[in-house]
Structure 1
Amino acid sequence: MHNQNKILRVLQLITLLKKQPAKSIRFLAGILESTDRTVYRYLDLVKELGFELQKDHNNKFQIFGEDDYPSISFSKEEVSLLRDLVLSTGKDNKLKDSLLQKIYLQSELAIQGNHVLKANLGRMIEKINSSIFENKRILLKGYHSINTQVISDRIIEPISLTDNYNSVCGFELETKLNKYYNLERINEVVILNESQEFNKLHQLDELDVFGFSERNGEKFIVELSLSLRAYILLKEQYPKIGKHINKELKSEKYNLKVNVNNPKPITRFILGLNDEIKIIGSNKFKNYFLKNKI
């Protein structure tokens, strides 16, 4: 059972790392219910399996690029070894590494690993919906804040889930502010036996393409020239940004012009691909970038 759990956690880790944004070791340890040292060992295994693992300047990790193996089938020998691995025999076999790679790409265990993550998010969504219906407060246990880089518990009065079920908007009791919380950064949702009291202060703000409301900071106009690679990666990471990007005529460059409520996400993205992105407009954002690029 130990080896089976290890495989499932590695699969869950791969699933997490293939989703944007990049994740910190502390965040991954919280989601996987493991220690930081264990997560580092899992990351070594992920690299051994052939995935291109990238670390940004904030020591956060993600898997870069598309799968290089679009269609793979198992041999009889690999199927046999897979059965042995799942049954936790732990045999030492040369087929092991190639098999683990294929498990993620094309096996029921890959689906199961993804379902582990999705099932947890599904339970959170169910609890949040119930608390809204019952007009109850909820406790967000172990929320991982990107802005403060702090893991803490938050008590909120939930207002609504976003249309894509990525976040919940809630009135935070400690700060008396309406905020959005990414579900993937929550370890657990607990419904409290406390009725909501601040309904008159509940407010849903329109989010920018990065998921930030007007209350999250100062507004900026961002204008960029992107390479094809930068364009693809930005659309993958933030799908809603696509309608704000236009391709230059007779060129492989793409132009972005968008209003944002928080410049931190796009600043981090530019820093990761600095040679493939040029800031072409908005002196206000240029000055912000120059002050925060180190």
Structure 2
Amino acid sequence: MRLEKFGNELELLLLLTDNNNYTAQQLADRLHVTRRNLYYYLDYLRNSGFQVIKTGAYYRLDPNSKFFRRLHDNIVFTKEEAAYLRRMLEASNKKDIILATLKTKLDRYYSLEGSFSPAALKRIHNNVRTLKEAMETQSVVVLRGYSSPHSKTVSDRVVEPYLLMNDDLDVRCYEMQSDMCKTFKVSRIKSVEVMDVFWMNQAKHSDLFTDIFMFSGDEKLPVKLRLGQLAYNLLLEEYPQSHPFLAPEKDEKHWIFKADVASYLGIGRFVLGLFQDIEVLQDQRFKQYIAGCVEQMSQKVSGFRPVRPTNNEP
């Protein structure tokens, strides 16, 4: 199929997403078509899953359209991935315009500017070095000024550090106060102070479980899904390591996925994105999690009349 066949549709997509306001006549003029033909193109976009919004006389595309969400998930880095790439660029000895441009784009788009200033890099380097020394001597340390995004507090944490992970971005520790093993971001530690005290809780140093969606945690959460052909294909394409956890049903049209996950975030995003082709079989907690996500989405789109999906949607 030649790209030229959809030239006007592609051009219309660009116009409706370039942050400018266009009336129907202005769009028709830019495409060199009649207004009647323009309305055909707009209907084509609607039928293809795009949400065309008209505000007064002006048209635009809703960035929350399913196509854009799937495109975003496929091509945009997570903040952790962007930070990892930024660290690799910082470690490079090359000095050229392209390298500097990439650093600037990552810093601006993912708000990494403060994380890679010379002072921040020196602080992180010192923290990693001190943590490694403490682990070698099995010493207790104080994580001074640790900034927690969950509790929104800055506090000192007395811990037994025993594992650096993710290219030294995270440190796994046993925390005295909570009597739990936790993962701390090295970049959120102001400084590390080694105490003249040796580990006393080594038996409690637990290994971290990482699931096929690359989420890590202490708890293993069982899930069981019934997948259609589309969900089966996409799961294998996006997560090849899922293959051992898949078993075909007798009808040869469905597959059972059964595995443990560390978090419902990864598996939940996959299920919600392909809900028409997936049936959640187990367990009850995961069903409640999905139901809660659906309820939140329903609240965000309240007031809109439901539309039956067309055949060209999965």
Please give the range of the TM-score, normalised by the shorter of the 2 chains: 0.3 to 0.5
What TM-score, normalized to structure 2? Answer: 0.43
Larger RCO, structures 1/2 (Cα 8 Å, 6+ apart): 1
TM-score by length of 1: 0.46
